[in-house]
Structure 1
Amino acid sequence: MFNINDYILDSIASDLKIEIQKNSNRIPDPFNYFHGKTTKDLIIPENILMFYRSKTIADSTPSIHERFVLIYNFSGEGSVIIDNSAFRLKESEAILIYPHQYHVYADIAKINISWLFITFEAQNHGTLTERINATFKLSNFSMLNILFLSNYFISTKNQPSEETHASLLLANILQEISITIPIQELNKDIPTEKELSSSHLLIQQIIQFIHEDLTQAVSIDDVAQEVHFSPSHLRSKFKKIMGIGLGTYIRKTKIHKACLLIQNTSLTISQISQQCGFSSLYSFSRTFSSEMGHSPMTYKSTNSK
């Protein structure tokens, strides 16, 4: 059976051999023959899905979930709204959406798009957190791995499996992304009504209010007062649009921020608790453990830089 991966590799095999030999001659001898590169910062993706969207599609409903979403744009510009910021995803650019980030795809109903989606879970986020809220280019190496990954999903008919092939290919891509310098700075402009429906605009207002100061203990009553809804009406409206309770979203947002602070700062757990608006360290630890499956200290021991 013809295998496109083998064909590609065969066509460049001789050149690869020459380049590898050149590099081999330049590799310095190890400082220690029993201690080498470790996998501490290796990002191991799991539960991977890949799918493709083309032509015109209706603007999506807002979404929040516990998976990473990597989007690559082959053609057709569109807006990706993440938390309280809007990004224009241009041709040949990619963007990474982090777990628990509010996101919606907008301004794409009247254009032909060609977007590839790769969603996955990962315990060790490595330096992927530095790629939040930025678009970036993928290297030729990453594109080759995406080609191999797509061939794998075609050959397996996109059925669930416990094989490591997809995980290893995506791990290569994620390691490349983790050292890529973003080409677009954070866009803090709030989307216009042309980009979002009235429901999306309401959610956008709610999300912005919650994110303005996460050090405060924001309540549903506070949010309801801000958007001029009764608390009960707001709960119902938010749940209908988002598929998640407002209280749950506030809690997940705070824990998401806590995870980022643990991974990227030297703050103590007590300081992080205060930064995330919890009334006590006990309340923070209990909520964190409930959301993440282990204590803040355990998470810090395996995820801090």
Structure 2
Amino acid sequence: MKTDDFNFLFSYAESMTEPEDLFSGRRLPHGFSLPDNILVFFHDFTASAPNSHSRHTLVIPLDEMVYYVERQQVEMHLGELLYVPPFALRFLHPGSPGYRRLFITFEVNGLQRYLPRSGLFELTPDVLRSLQNFLRNFFTHSEEELAWALMQLLAQLSSAHLVIKAGEPLPEALLQAIDHIECDLAILGDVKQLAFKVGLSPSHLRALFRQHFGVPIGKYIAQKRADYAQYQLKNSDLTIGEIAQKSGFANIYVFSTFFKRNVGVSPLQYRTQMHAPAKKAHGSN
């Protein structure tokens, strides 16, 4: 140790006084707990939204995009981070320029002082450094170390300034329409049936959807069907017939024609292509 280090220790020790109680020191806040059950994952699609769940969520955009959180529009740019608290309804604007985003989700017991306010934050040098440290260590460090690293990131956000970019709230009818599209693809029907469910005329729903999202509702529904089918073909063991039914198609032939028109290959070809890299990697071990 250097002389200055020793001098600091001597000086600090001399400044200390005897505690009144040698068994009572600085305690953690009552109910304190670290983040737990931590996940990190990447999405480049819009499904599924809107959704609400019990986990805390950090969203790091890798494209320019627009989120809706509790009906409030939030414009997100590179170099920013969105914190969404548990049970807040959120979804990605279907007309966003891009969909690539990184998620960190976690659970925590009770209200903790280190949790930030809901909203959008700038990735300042200090915040970015903490974020990078957490991500680099996610697969290599212990759960305790990860929880501590995430708590440090959250604590920095809690003292940072919110980026205020509040936009126009989303009408209730559109929220209901999005909810039906996302949750009821198998029984959704056409735009006329959807409009009836949300209490609007078909023309009013089409106009309102284009006004707020910038895309025709029919095109959006088609894209959602394609997104859902691609996800299931890649990640599930459902048969193509089952995926066709869950995507809202009367039979496998109509589904196959739709899929090839929108994706460029047949459902079977897509599934084979998606599984080929994994098989190749497995065979090379």
- TM-score, normalization by structure 1: 0.46
Larger of the two Rg values belongs to structure: 2
